Structure 1
Amino acid sequence: MTDIEPRPVEVAPHDPNTVLSPAALDRLDRSIPDNTKTAYRRQARDFVAWCEEHGRDTLPASAQTLADYVSHLCDQDKAPSTIEQAIAVVRVAHREAGHDGQPDTRAALRILKTHKRDRAEAGKRKRKAPPVTLDVLRAMVDVADPATLAGRRDRVMLVLGFAMMARRSELAGLRIGDVTFTDDGLTILIRSSKTDQEAEGAEVNIPHGVHPDTDPVRVVRAWLDCLDATEGPLLRHINRWDQLQPGGMSGAAINERVRKLAIEAGVPNAVTFTAHGLRAGGPTEAAKAGQPVSFIADHGRWSKNSPQVLEYIRPVDKWRDNPMRGIGL
């Protein structure tokens, strides 16, 4: 058996008590984010191909098979997070196929631990997308020409991504109707996000800016004046001739656009910038301005004890609260 992709299990129809309706199956399928399904499918295909090449069974797979596969991924110098995902995919496939507790992952995890140590000794560290700080943001906004549709849209993408501390999926999901102008600035409705499992939605309040080119209210209003529409995606697809196209930007398109703007702006290490840098840049600059962690976490839709938000803030604290500062060196 080689089909190990995670999916809702459809049982034999002879027992009406254990049959799921097509509507239920569809909702189960849509409960898994598209990017997660894509990653799982890729990992599943790679595992199946390796097992077939080496004459191994995929379901159920032995502990030795999984350990050898993990060692194979280590030989390819895959990132530890990628290998962890591969192990999870195999485990989920076994559980959904009724092979609970299989395969034993202890040997695989020990091999992964050795791989992490080997990478550390070789000077390799987890790669992080650099934060789009305020200076970088302004440089990127400057190369987004406001005389073009693409330039106005890109300014909205950059400024809202930074000011909302937004995930790229949240930016891609924004609709025109999600934006409300108020006396104090903007209120943005985020209908659903990665951590909003119940899709309850969240509102993000963004005050007026002080710089004309990065004032969220100004850049959003300028873009909506171009759209001349009251519904549909906020970040629209635009072709090479600067013409609006049906449909909105995908998360991948936003990611690529951020990188391209960083390159055009001449930002150091521009190719390492991603849309995640916008989400990281907001809390970084807010921490520099002395904003409390609780305010930053709430604005960015993290829990107040989230290790992720602290990861953005700690580099600021290490300089601001450095014990070597002011001792007379």
Structure 2
Amino acid sequence: MTTMMSAALPATAPVHPVDPIGIMPRGLTDTDGERIATAIAAARTESTRRVYAGVWSRWERWCAGRGVTVLPSDPLAVCAYLTEQAAAGRAMGTLDLICTVIRHVHLTCDLHNPADALAVRQVRRGLRRTYGSAPRRLARPLSVEEIRQIIHGIDRSTPIGVRDAAIILLGYASALRRSELVALTLADVEDKPAGFLLHIRRSKTDPEGHGEVVGVAHGQHAATDPVAALNAWREIRGAAPGPVFTRIWGSTVSLQALSGHVPARMLRARAEAAGLDGTRITAHSMRAGHATTAALAGVPLDRIAAQTRHKDLSVLLNRYIRPLEALATTSSKDLGL
């Protein structure tokens, strides 16, 4: 496998004997190839490459278990895999991702994309009609009252308590994605009299890293003030450059960054400790809760979108605004039941 092919494919993907990416024109050097490979790798984030590798690895194992060729893949094998995954409860978004990864590997290897076959397209259409395409388990938005309940149950006399309270309050007030929250560095936090400006260097909606700025204002109550909570954590963390939120080993505060999974696990555990049902509580519950609570308070859609940085306003409408309007305007309350 050439350096450039390795950069383009998931780590487990085999290489087709025809490797057009690996054929270097006369006059180009290995250094040129390494630079091209670096640029190819940067076309997708590290997290995306990990996801692609996982999807491809599972497809490889399925093909090996069935005794079918993985590359090039047979369209009917893809159909069988998709229907099996759908029957196992996989969402349509997962099935679409499987097709995306299979397409990516085949096109990179200069092979025909089996997901383009008529049979695969018909199967995908039929699965949508059979199982639906709506997300099945949306994160439950947390209300301000629930955030207060969670925060009240945290012992903020300990470093980990101070850190967790800061993560929850800043995450809720800023509406940041969990990846953005754990990627914050001290240099990204700009102090202002009215609160903070958070400089988001790269995000899902800004993959090229142009940069975005999110404001966080002082809270109305001392216990739930996100600015005070972050200031308290920064005092414990210290001023050494690096990530804002770091791991704590026993009572020792390190400078090691948190992974994106830590806020989700922590929030669910804190919510359950506070007596809430943690079944559908994820890190996204803070972001969703911000949007929902703001909508309930009558904040205009454009202001909410400016904070959450949603490029597609239909997401805000369909997931946060319209469900609230449906309950507020339902005629069922006028039936006299």
TM-score by length of 2: 0.87
Pairing 1:105-116 to 2, within 5 Å after superposition: 105-116=117-128
Structure 2 CA distance for aligned equivalents of residues 276 and 99 of structure 1:
38
Residue among 28, 40, 56 paired with 2:52: 40
Percent identity of paired positions between Structure 1 and Structure 2: 28
User: Structure 1 residues 103 and 112, CA, compared in 2 at 3 Å: closer, same or farther?
Assistant: closer
Residue aligning to 2:216: 206
Counterpart of 1:252, as a letter, is H
Residue aligning to 2:14: none
Note if contact 1:177-1:230 (Cα within 8 Å) is conserved in structure 2. no
Pairing 1:1-329 to 2, within 5 Å after superposition: 5-6=9-10, 10-13=21-24, 15-16=26-27, 20-119=32-131, 126-239=136-249, 241-268=250-277, 270-303=278-311, 305-310=312-317, 311-323=319-331
Structure 1 CA distance for aligned equivalents of residues 217 and 305 of structure 2:
17
Structure 1 CA distance for aligned equivalents of residues 248 and 20 of structure 2:
40
Superposition deviation, residue 116 in structure 1: 4.1
Structure 1 CA distance for aligned equivalents of residues 94 and 256 of structure 2:
31
Note if contact 1:144-1:150 (Cα within 8 Å) is conserved in structure 2. no
Counterpart of 2:23, as a letter, is A
Unpaired runs of at least 5, structure 1:
none
Superposition deviation, residue 262 in structure 1: 1.5
Helix, strand or coil at the partner of 2:81: helix
Helix, strand or coil at the partner of 1:318: helix
Note if contact 1:74-1:112 (Cα within 8 Å) is conserved in structure 2. no
TM-score by length of 1: 0.89
Superposition deviation, residue 140 in structure 1: 1.6
User: Structure 1 residues 132 and 208, CA, compared in 2 at 3 Å: closer, same or farther?
Assistant: same
Note if contact 2:201-2:210 (Cα within 8 Å) is conserved in structure 1. yes
Helix, strand or coil at the partner of 2:228: helix
User: Structure 1 residues 186 and 246, CA, compared in 2 at 3 Å: closer, same or farther?
Assistant: closer
Superposition deviation, residue 233 in structure 1: 0.7
In terms of fraction of residues, the more helix-rich structure is: 2
Structure 1 CA distance for aligned equivalents of residues 323 and 310 of structure 2:
18
Structure 1 CA distance for aligned equivalents of residues 310 and 216 of structure 2:
17
Report the aligned-residue RMSD. Answer: 2.6
Matched residue count: 322
- Superposed CA deviations along residues 188-225 of structure 1, whole A, max 9, x for unmatched, are 11111011022011111111111112111111111111
Note if contact 1:158-1:258 (Cα within 8 Å) is conserved in structure 2. yes
- Superposed CA deviations along residues 112-138 of structure 1, whole A, max 9, x for unmatched, are 444444446xxx971111012211211
Note if contact 2:91-2:135 (Cα within 8 Å) is conserved in structure 1. no
Helix, strand or coil at the partner of 2:222: coil
Structure 2 CA distance for aligned equivalents of residues 328 and 50 of structure 1:
56
